[in-house]
Structure 1
Amino acid sequence: MIHKLKNKRINLALIISAFALILLPGCSGRNVRTDLDTTNSGIIHISVDESFEPVIDSQIQVFEALYPKAKIIAEYKPEADCFKDLIKDSTRMIIVTRGLTDQEEKFYKDSLTFYPAYDKLANDAVAVIVNNDDPDSLFSMDKIRGILNGSTGDKQVAVFDGLKETSTIRFAIDSILKGKPFDPKKVFAEKNSLGVINYVADHKNVLGFVGVSWIGNKEDTSQLSFLKKVRIAAIECNCPEKTYVKPYQANIERRRYPMVRGLYYILKENYNGLGGGFANFMTYEKGQLIFMRSYLWPAKMNFTIRSATLN
């Protein structure tokens, strides 16, 4: 009788063990996701400020070449639309000209249940371009301000990369006009940065405002073709000496050029995924060198600027 009871206990234990083995994968599946991307594989969507399309295209091409299992699908649009996309499930990251305010951090924390991560990647500049036949390509900030608010009697006008909500327009209103409005008779817009370049190439007495990554890289064949159509204007220097400077890297780094802005990523990811992998790539050496070659000034890598005398 005792022997049979032992056998029954053993059989019951085996049944319980087998049942537990069946349940374990389902239980563990709640904590270990197998459908997520990793830092170097998977597919994600990001939204990027259109002013940075050339340099971010370069970053994505190199990243995907290094990690063939990774696919980053970028949509280029006005900055305000990028921030709207940050709340969408389909958008993992945005690349824009600023980080989050305290109020925005709280909003996204309440909406997402975690704080999005953000950091500066590089320093960019707003470049001013003019038609090749325009006699004047030297401007003070007072002159630019006067054209934008209509206080000068000049016939010059300005063209921007969108009708509203672009980072370049926001920069002009916040940093150049100090919150005052444009003169609608003096300021108008094209659809995007390429539209600005083409318009300035076809019209005299127009100042075009674009991100420097669109026209700063002389090693890019498409940008070389742009520079045959337009000239980059020199702006009065933020320095003791009376001189005019262009948005070259040394002038961006030393803030000698007066229209400098940041380039940031904002990442909506609370695990080690492809968004974090791409952010790390842009933050470290390879990504920082791409910013350098695109004639922005990297924010995370130290480069030395040496003075030199040219004969």
Structure 2
Amino acid sequence: MKGYRSFVFFTALVLSCVLFAGCESYQEKRAKLTDTEKRGRIIISADESFKPVVDAQVAVYESNNPGTTIAVQYKPEAECLKDLLNDSIRMIIATRKASPAEEKFLTDSLLVGPVQLTVARDAVAVIVHPGAPDSLFTMNELKAVLTGKFKKNLIPVFDGVQATSTVRFIVDSVLHDEALTPKAMAASTSEEVINYVATHPDAVGFIGVSWIGNKDDGNQLSFLKKVRIAQLESTDTEGSYVLPVQLNIYMKRYPMVRDLVYILKEKHKGLGNGFADFMSGQIGQLIFRRAYLVPTQKKFTLRPVQLRDE
């Protein structure tokens, strides 16, 4: 019996040693990861119309976490959504969440369930030449411009005429069952839309407000010297025209409001999770607010501010 007890004790001791030798601490496992919230490099893709505010988010995050690099590829929204199936792209930033079919495909193909959240709202701003006589539009008038039926020969200009979030918003939310005029012009970036409108009095540009709504940004102030921001008829008061400022976006008085959404597909709690938490946290939400978007995850006091258009 004594020998049996010794054998059992010895066996248990050997098994314990094997088990402990095979167990890694949490810190050891984290050290083997390619990236964590505080170190490493990842690639994300983002809708080009959000470039100014995404650049600001990345700059502050990397400054607060010196061991991190978030490489952003700016693309039309449709290309970003294709990146849902690209295993090397950790996150995409767009204007909509993944559909149930896309979520299922991600889960089946990449074995990861996407985490997605609306972190801010912005607006599609309408810009015109400084000397343009028309800077107030009802939505019916704007639709007439977009379909080529307006009383004057005005040319819509986009950051591309297909696959961009701005075009998709216009087609889905403004045109509905009507076709975009073949006269519509395509620029390669939002900045090129601004430059085109600045030199063509008959052009009407459509860009994300984060490109032109921040009165504290030197580049955007220079843009506002080149073009005017048109006012659209308010959703709540007929005959009242409003600019795409924060309060009007928040109250949805401005008629062309859209979401800013991240879709994260990360198999471990890494740098993508860290950046997602940052954008939805206090500092990230404050960055959205200072960029004159409307943060959706934290409450801030919004005051009426007149957007400069000259």
Give the TM-score, by structure 1 length.
Answer: 0.88
Which segments of 5 or more consecutive residues in structure 1 lack a partner in the other structure? Answer: 1-8
In structure 2, the residue matched to 1:102 is 100
In structure 2, the residue matched to 1:170 is 168
Tell me, yes or no, if the aligned pair for 1:163 and 1:191 is still in contact at 8 Å.
no
- Map 1:1-311; keep pairs closer than 5 Å: 20=18, 24=22, 32=29, 34-185=32-183, 187-305=184-302
Distance 1:61 1:305 in 2: 25
Tell me, yes or no, if the aligned pair for 2:39 and 2:271 is still in contact at 8 Å.
yes
Distance 1:224 1:142 in 2: 30
Tell me, yes or no, if the aligned pair for 2:34 and 2:40 is still in contact at 8 Å.
yes
Q: CA deviation at 1:104?
A: 1.4
Q: CA deviation at 1:241?
A: 4.4
Tell me, yes or no, if the aligned pair for 1:193 and 1:214 is still in contact at 8 Å.
yes
CA separation of 1:64 and 1:22: change in aligned 2, threshold 3 A: same
CA separation of 1:22 and 1:281: change in aligned 2, threshold 3 A: closer
Distance 1:246 1:214 in 2: 14
CA separation of 1:300 and 1:21: change in aligned 2, threshold 3 A: closer
Tell me, yes or no, if the aligned pair for 2:148 and 2:154 is still in contact at 8 Å.
no
Tell me, yes or no, if the aligned pair for 1:131 and 1:204 is still in contact at 8 Å.
yes
How many residues were matched structurally? 298
Q: Considering only aligned residues, what root-mean-square deviation do their CA atoms show, in Å?
A: 2.7
Distance 1:297 1:198 in 2: 26
Tell me, yes or no, if the aligned pair for 2:247 and 2:304 is still in contact at 8 Å.
no
Tell me, yes or no, if the aligned pair for 2:87 and 2:110 is still in contact at 8 Å.
no
CA separation of 1:244 and 1:87: change in aligned 2, threshold 3 A: same
Give the TM-score, by structure 2 length.
Answer: 0.89
- Is the partner of 2:134 in helix, strand or coil? coil
Distance 1:194 1:299 in 2: 26
- Is the partner of 1:264 in helix, strand or coil? strand
Tell me, yes or no, if the aligned pair for 1:120 and 1:263 is still in contact at 8 Å.
yes
Task: Kindly provide the amino acid, as one letter, of the partner of residue 215 in structure 1.
Answer: I
Q: CA deviation at 1:257?
A: 0.2
Distance 2:304 2:78 in 1: 40
Distance 1:252 1:288 in 2: 15
Distance 1:40 1:217 in 2: 30
After superposition, what is the alpha-carbon deviation per residue over 1:135-176, rounded to whole angstroms, capped at 9, x for unaligned?
A: 221111101101111223421110000131000000000000
Tell me, yes or no, if the aligned pair for 2:76 and 2:164 is still in contact at 8 Å.
yes
- Select between 49-58 and 132-141 the one with higher mean Cα deviation: 132-141
Distance 1:80 1:285 in 2: 30
After superposition, what is the alpha-carbon deviation per residue over 1:44-77, rounded to whole angstroms, capped at 9, x for unaligned?
A: 0000000000000000000011010111000101
Select the structure of larger CA radius of gyration: 1
